[in-house]
């Protein structure tokens, strides 16, 4: 018998016969509704407050459609411009690479201070954690503006900005990885009378290296995306060209640049997936 041919169940009769099964269902549903209504009301209030319902949304959508049509087909204008954009893209990737590497190198010693199982000083632990949180809660673009004050306009400021804001993130992530490391290998190394440095090198590092490496790779990808906008405040990369072309409404060039960025990010995703697999695969065989 196909489901459609079955007579529909008489819900009212079922409800009358098995009240013990239906009562908790209704109560659960009422609770769920109550929990959903407050966020929904806040959402509607927020949308009204931010101007969703005063007609601008509809008018803007029309304009957005026009702009989308004007973006096609992607066209750099001339070969010279295509070359400038490609070089800027290389610069963007370079900024992301250097920023991520520098942040990782600086964050590792800091994360040791922030890890409870390496440095057992509570005051030091607390101070390191809070400073890392403070660094992290300021956006990369603000750091870029501050570094522009120090080293001047240009990609170097971008590298330093990415480095600073990732320092906070890496410090937190690395210290968490170190804290979850297994104690037994460390105890094994200690039992041979090794110094603290050797304890770190042979007890902790082999365990956390794959985790840390894959986090670094993941942030390299995400930093490539951040580095594409850092140029908006004059800190190098393709962002400057992108913002300029958007503001002057050269929309075909905008879509060309966006396409370049998409391709670059896809290529980096692919490469970092390969590297990640190589590192994690190797460390798995090492554990056996």
Partner 1 sequence: MRLRPLLDGYARAIAARRMRSLLSLAIGLLCVWLAAQSAEVDLWKLFENFHRLPSYFIRIFTLDSGRAVWTDPVEWFWGLDRWAGQLGETILMAYVGTALGAIGALGLCFLAAANVSPQRWMRIAARRFLEICRTVPELVFALVFVICFGLGPLAGVLAVAIHTLGALGKQFAEVVENGDMKPVDGVSSAGGHWMVAMRFGMLPQVLSSFVSYALLRFEINVRGATIMGFVGAGGIGQDLIEAIRKFYYTDVSAILVLVVLTVFVMDFLTERLRHRLVDMDGQR
Considering beta carbons, is residue 120 or 150 the nearer one to partner 1? 150
Q: 63 vs 75, 169, 250, CA distance in Å?
A: 21, 39, 15
d(CA 216, CA 79): 35
Mention every residue, 6+ apart, whose C-beta is less than 8 A from residue 43. none
Q: How far is the CB of 177 from partner 1 (least distance, A)?
A: 18
Radius of gyration of the chain, Cα coordinates, nearest whole angstrom: 27
Q: How far is the CB of 211 from partner 1 (least distance, A)?
A: 18
Considering beta carbons, is residue 5 or 184 the nearer one to partner 1? 5
Query: Is 228 within 8 Å of 93 (Cβ atoms)?
Result: no
Considering beta carbons, is residue 12 or 35 the nearer one to partner 1? 35
The full DSSP string for 56-100 is HHHHHHHHHHHHHHHTPSP--SSHHHHHHHHHHHHHHHHHHHHHH
Considering beta carbons, is residue 93 or 211 the nearer one to partner 1? 93
Question: Residue length, the chain?
Answer: 288
Q: Return residues touching partner 1 (CB under 8 A).
A: 2-4, 6, 39, 42-43, 46-47, 49-52, 56-57, 60-61, 63-64, 67, 90-91, 93-95, 97-98, 101, 133-134, 137-139, 141-142, 145-147, 149-152, 154-156, 158-160, 225-226, 228-229, 232-233, 236, 242-243, 246-247, 249, 254, 258, 261-262, 265
Q: How far is the CB of 125 from partner 1 (least distance, A)?
A: 17
Considering beta carbons, is residue 32 or 188 the nearer one to partner 1? 32
Q: How far is the CB of 94 from partner 1 (least distance, A)?
A: 4
Q: How far is the CB of 215 from partner 1 (least distance, A)?
A: 16
Q: How far is the CB of 228 from partner 1 (least distance, A)?
A: 6
3 state DSSP class of 1? coil
Which of 171, 163, 129 lies closest to 143, judged by CA? 163
Which of 109, 99, 232 lies closest to 178, judged by CA? 109
What's the 3-state SS for 184-231? Answer: HHHHHHHHCCCCHHHHHHHHHHHHHHHHHHHHHHHHHHHHHHHHCCHH
Considering beta carbons, is residue 147 or 174 the nearer one to partner 1? 147
Considering beta carbons, is residue 118 or 144 the nearer one to partner 1? 144
Considering beta carbons, is residue 184 or 247 the nearer one to partner 1? 247
Q: 215 vs 18, 71, 148, 167, 208, CA distance in Å?
A: 53, 36, 28, 13, 11
d(CA 19, CA 252): 65
Q: How far is the CB of 138 from partner 1 (least distance, A)?
A: 6
Q: How far is the CB of 38 from partner 1 (least distance, A)?
A: 12
């Amino acid at each position: 018998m196909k489901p459609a041919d079955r007579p529909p169940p008489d819900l009212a009769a079922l409800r009358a016969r098995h009240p013990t099964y239906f009562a908790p269902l209704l109560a659960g549903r009422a609770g769920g509704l109550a929990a959903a209504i407050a966020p929904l009301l806040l959402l509607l209030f927020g949308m009204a407050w931010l101007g969703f319902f005063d007609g601008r949304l509809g008018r803007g959508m029309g304009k957005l459609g026009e702009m989308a049509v004007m973006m096609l087909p992607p066209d750099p204008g001339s070969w010279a411009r295509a070359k400038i954009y490609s070089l800027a893209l290389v610069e963007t990737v370079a900024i992301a690479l250097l920023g991520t590497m520098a942040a990782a190198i600086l964050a590792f010693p800091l994360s040791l201070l922030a890890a409870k199982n390496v440095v057992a000083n509570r005051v030091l632990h607390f101070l390191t954690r809070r400073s890392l949180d403070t660094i992290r809660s300021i956006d990369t673009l603000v750091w870029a503006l501050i570094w522009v004050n120090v080293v001047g306009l240009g990609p170097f400021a971008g590298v330093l900005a990415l480095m600073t804001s990732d320092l906070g993130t890496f410090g937190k992530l690395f210290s968490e990885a170190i804290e979850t490391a297994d104690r037994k290998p460390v105890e094994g190394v200690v039992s041979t009378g090794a110094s603290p440095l050797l304890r770190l090198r042979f007890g902790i590092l082999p365990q956390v290296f794959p985790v840390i490496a894959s986090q670094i790779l993941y942030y390299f990808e995400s930093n490539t995306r951040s580095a594409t906008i850092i140029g908006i405040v004059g800190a190098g990369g393709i962002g400057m060209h992108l913002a300029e072309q958007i503001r002057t409404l050269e929309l075909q060039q905008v879509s060309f640049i966006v396409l370049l960025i998409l391709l670059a990010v896809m290529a980096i995703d692919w490469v970092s997936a390969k590297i990640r697999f190589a590192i994690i695969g190797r460390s798995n065989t090492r554990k056996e």
